[in-house]
Amino acid sequence: MSAFLERRGFPLDEAKARAAATNVVLDDIRDERDAQDTKWGTDSTPPDGTGPTTCPLLDVVGEGIPAEDLARYMQEVVEQASAGGHVTMAQILLEEVFEAVAENDADALRAELVQVAAVATKWVERIDKRGTDPSLTNQEASA
């Protein structure tokens, strides 16, 4: 978006360029919300299914690992990967997702879900930026 505007003579400082990039993603999120409402209906309200002892991976890996342990594990993974200079967006998003799943307080859950959305939004912005800057590439985690 920012490159599009700059090519057309609109000077953008970095903050405006970032805001424009975020707005592109937020528009896509609004469209996806509409699509979800169309698919599932606006009255579909499954339970949160969260809390520190919830085991979100039980049906996937067959082990009942509590969400609070998964959150703590991913916090350590992100901290160590960050200190080593090789943290990934996938690791950061999983940390935020498990932190959200571990919450059963509505205010804390809401705050964590906003963090999930912020990380996902930033990740989409990075993917969009790659499309306009060939020097940027996806570097998969080697681990």
- Positions touching Mg ion (CB under 5 A) are 96, 99, 112, 115
Identity of the residue, 3 or 120, whose beta carbon is nearer to Mg ion in the bound complex: 120
Question: Which pair of tokens denotes residue 43?
Answer: 């009255």
First to last CA, the chain: 33
Identity of the residue, 109 or 112, whose beta carbon is nearer to Mg ion in the bound complex: 112
- Write down the least CB distance from residue 68 to Mg ion, Å: 13
97: alpha, beta or left? (left if phi > 0; alpha if psi -120 to 50) = alpha
Closest-CB residue for Mg ion? 99
Identity of the residue, 1 or 103, whose beta carbon is nearer to Mg ion in the bound complex: 103
Identity of the residue, 104 or 129, whose beta carbon is nearer to Mg ion in the bound complex: 104
- Write down the least CB distance from residue 17 to Mg ion, Å: 26
- Write down the least CB distance from residue 129 to Mg ion, Å: 24
- Write down the least CB distance from residue 79 to Mg ion, Å: 13
- Write down the least CB distance from residue 66 to Mg ion, Å: 17
Identity of the residue, 100 or 124, whose beta carbon is nearer to Mg ion in the bound complex: 100
Distances (CA, A) of 14 to 21, 37, 123: 10, 35, 18
